[in-house]
Homo-oligomer: A and B are copies of this chain.
């Protein structure tokens, strides 16, 4: 035996979540069962409903509980710019910067032939369809700065070259607050390539 009945089922189900190993699952399960300050029902209720409630915006692919997401519906956002990201969590990360006031397009991943993800598996047709709106003037490609994200950016920039649009890519360079000495060579090389004129 490991444990009687339901607590073992709880450990098993927690262990199916990403990043939770057997020891963490056990620790979390006992917290759920034993901690007098913890009520597991709200989480249970959310898990029961989440798949029925959460949908993906029919315009941009971001998570929402309605037909379209709050950003696509917001008339105060700049509808001329579309920032292309891999995942909904990238939208949240960019929103936290408060630097960007345009729209988004969530691809649902990045090109990765080794994992069987080609252009057909990403929401690229929906993006191209949005470009028929003559208001759109700039596409900012904000895929991750890794192999898959760069490949996706290259692929997209080629697809978008036939449109009369400004296509940009987020800058690569040294992270703010970082230490030049510890930057990897590729990042440091990009920082040189992308150096800015300070003007005088």
Contacts and interface: CB of A to CB of B under 8 A. Distances in A.
A45 B9 CA distance: 11
A69 B5 CA distance: 11
Interface of A is mostly: helix
Total identical chains: 2
A31 interface: yes
Interface string A54-86: 100000000111100110000000000000000
Interface of A: 1-7, 9-10, 13-14, 16-20, 24, 26-28, 30-33, 38-51, 53-54, 63-66, 69-70, 87-89, 92, 95-96
A16 B38 contact: yes
Contacts of A5: 53, 65
Contacts of A92: 2-3, 26
Contacts of A16: 38, 43
A42 B70 CA distance: 30
A87 B41 contact: no
Contacts of A53: 5-6
A3 B63 contact: yes
Given A32-B47, A47-B44, A50-B33, A95 B13 contact: no
A4, A6, A10, A13 interface centre (most CB from chain B within 10 Å): A4
